[in-house]
A and B are shown apart, each in its own frame.
Chain A
Amino acid sequence: MTGFLLRRLLSSLITIWFIATATFFVMHAVPGDPLSNEKAVNPEIRRHLEARYGLDQPVLTQYGIFLRNMATGDFGISFTQQNRRVNDIIREHFPVSALLGVVALVIATLGALLFGALSAQFRDRWPDRTIMLSVIFAISVPSFVLAALAQWGILSLNKAAGFTVLPVAGWGSWRHLIVPAVVLGLGTMAYMTRLMRSSMLEVAQADYLRTARAKGLGSLRIFVFHHMRNALLPVVTVLGPAIAAVTTGGFVVELIFSIPGLGRYFVQAVQQLDYTVIMGTTVFYGAFLVLMVMLVDILYGLIDPRIRVGK
């Protein structure tokens, strides 16, 4: 087990190194000059600016410095916000994205369980048809259209109610969170609902359900502890990819609902050509996803007796 963990950790580290390297070299191939400004500056100032960001060094030296800093978890100073470190930016903005992502995932999972089970139980009748139609709608409408429609919906709701039921945009309380999280989780929810439905249908044929019923267990008990619980396993396995989809998929939602997450910050940084922020964010997201995948792997090993991690 320890050997497995070590090997897994090592390969994760190598992967992160690969991400960092790829990011660095792609970033340095980007045409344009992060130091250019509306106002032309004299060469002396330019020299000082280049020195501040280490741009006066040869690329390989820069790469070395970059790796060394990366190893100590230091992503450097932002180009656009010269008194902020990229670390601070990530520390301040990532929790926002993470919270949004977690809530979206929870909503998606709970929704998928509910709708998937409903759909399976009412197979080919109107609840199933309605749910499957909504699922199809949810996966075939682009997220920014959904987000814009949702915002318009809040506005109409507030107007009809005569007071602010939910804020149109912004960040700060759970009321700001709820609609963006639903919009963000909708795609994942739709996908998981389908999985849940087919999984429920499959499990419905299983012998142990008949056995449970024959034993005279209550129908609610059978439904929750035997049917749903067993149908859940395949749904749980897609959680890994879902985390990735939701953490980086938050860009649009963050942009439209003006949520100060890391995704929105990244898009801005790209437009400003803020080298350090772009590199820092990419490497950070990459590392985060690698670690999540590793964690999920290990967890599976612990939970599912069919998978042995010691091998």
Chain B
Amino acid sequence: MLACADVYLAEPMSDLLAALFRLSLLLLPLAVLADGAVDHERQRIRLTLSSEPPNLNSTVTTDQISSFVLSHVMEGLLTYDASNELSPGVAERWELRQDGATFWLRRNARWSDGKPVTAHDFVFAWRTAVDPKTASQYASALYPVRNAERINRGELPVTALGVEARGDFRLEVTFERPTPYFLGLTAFFTYYPIRQDFYESRGERYAADADDLLYNGPFVLQRWVHGAHLRLRRNGHYWGRDHVGLYEIDIPYITTDTTAIFNLYQAGSIALAPLETETLRDAVRLGFTPKLFLTGSIYYLQFNLREGRITTNRNLRKAIQAILDPAVLVNKVVGLPGNLPSDSIFPTTVKGVELPFRTEYPAPRPERGLGLARHYLELARQELGLERIPPLVMLVGDGPRANKEAEYFQQLFARGLGLDVRLDRQTAKQRLDKMSRGDFDIVAAGWGPDYDDPMTFGDLFASWNENNRGRYRNPEYDRWVEIAATSPDPEQRMRAFAEMQRLLMEDVPVLPLYESGNVYLQHPQLRGVVRAIFGGDPNLRYAYVAGEDE
């Protein structure tokens, strides 16, 4: 039966192959494709984002990606220049006082439909942001403005907000309390303007798509295919359009996969690529030279000091402090250059009076060593009257790096102190939920600065701060926070922060680990990229594509 099968197969086979061959010839020429990371002629670059912007409504958004996009399509009263200093945005000039501030708006600032940006647009946006009906999670960014907090709690009408338009081009702001860092806040997205008529015309769909948003920044969002593609084009109505280098920022790839991102960079498809420990090795091997950037965020272990928790014992915390060397964590476990081991909750990027805060007030270094750690543990055991320390629950995130670090801590504490650490690995929301409910002994967490002042880190451990997830309560610490908040004297304020730094080292409610750094690749023809801690990162406002041989 099968023997004769071969006879009739001989023919169709060759036909089939020939057909396939012809088909492949048809397809091949189409496959040639110019897929450029940069284009000098058109001043276009291609990028990747780790996710699409979850929300481009500036009053309610909270995340980094939205902040990056918004900072390019919108502009606040002030903005950042090429050296990361505050510079005029919609406001031409301003005056900052103890009790408030006045902003004079430039007359040539335009929305992307050509109408002028006025002081009313700021009043409307700020009122919307603090309105409890908006339910903005970042409303607290506006709390320095008079009555903002009480309006946000539903105790006052939004019209009571301390901001007022004097004509179209002058904005008067009254403060709740002296806020020396207020100018920096006006560059923050919650402070961006929104035009009332447009906002109301879009209703629930405001900012849901490219044409559901009105732009006043250097770029406009020209195309937005959800989850797939964003394209930013130079804004023809922007007042400083002649000084915007790039014509187009094309973002045709959205992925979190660091290997895929590196592959895209290698393939010449994108101009910027963040690296992780793993892709970094390949990048260096292939002859790329990565760049470093400190993000200004700090990672730490926070102890739960709520009543009944074993971690309320100071000697137990001291024992952990004495055995955990941030330098080993950063160099051996994280393995990414650019991350700085830290003994302080204040990153080195925080400003002091003249120099960086950490240069003016170096962080005290805790004593460390296995013997010392075991000594503290023994003390803890005696104080607690326990034969063995019960298992500790460590709440951690579920990313690859969080895993790696958690596995390291677990082994370190087990081998060094005989502690049984139970890892509680949760996705973002569940982790946050457990953090606010206090359902942990130790939590691995991080904090990024909201504004350019040490206070953004300092008041994190004030007893009244809801973000003080470990419920550290120390009247002395609170007093220093109070002084730093109210004192007009910069010297005195910095001394107060130095005292906080010391107290945190001695009391160990928190164990600083490292300042986070970014390692990334940048296309050699892409110039003028500003890496920024505040106001959207990376800042491409001043970027341009150089010619191939420049």
Contacts and interface: CB of A to CB of B under 8 A. Distances in A.
A10 interface: no
B6 interface: yes
B12 interface: yes
Given A31-B430, A204-B2, A273-B430, A170 B11 contact: no
A260 B225 contact: yes
B74 to A, nearest CB: 16
B1 A44 contact: no
Nearest to A264: B227
B205 interface: yes
Interface stretch (A80-88, A190-198, A293-301): A80-88
Given A155-B266, A273-B430, A268 B137 contact: no
A42 to B, nearest CB: 5
Contacts, number: 193
Among A83, A114, A151, A219, the most chain B Cβ lie within 10 Å of the Cβ of A83
Interface stretch (A234-242, A251-259, A283-291): A251-259
Interface residues of A, number: 70
Nearest to A170: B253
A1 interface: no
B433 A36 contact: yes
B483 to A, nearest CB: 24
B269 A164 contact: yes
B257 A39 contact: no
A270 B427 contact: yes
A4 B432 CA distance: 51
Contacts of A47: 132
B55 A165 contact: no
Given A169-B264, A171-B228, A223-B9, A272 B428 contact: yes
A148 to B, nearest CB: 7
Interface in A165-196: 165-172, 175
Nearest to B448: A38
Interface in B197-227: 204-208, 212, 225-227
B252 A172 contact: yes
B140 interface: yes
A31 B432 CA distance: 12
A172 B429 contact: no
B229 interface: yes
B137 A45 contact: yes
A92 B227 CA distance: 9
Contacts of B349: none
Contacts of A205: 1
Contacts of A77: 204
A123 B6 CA distance: 10
A33 B430 CA distance: 6
A22 to B, nearest CB: 21
A54 B300 CA distance: 36
20 contacts: A32-B429, A36-B429, A37-B137, A45-B135, A84-B208, A148-B259, A151-B260, A151-B263, A155-B267, A165-B31, A168-B263, A168-B264, A168-B266, A170-B253, A205-B1, A223-B9, A257-B260, A258-B255, A271-B427, A273-B430
Interface of A: 31-34, 36-49, 52, 77, 80-84, 88-89, 92-93, 96, 114, 118, 121, 123, 148, 151-152, 155, 158, 163-172, 175, 204-205, 213, 219-220, 222-224, 255-258, 260, 264-265, 268, 270-273
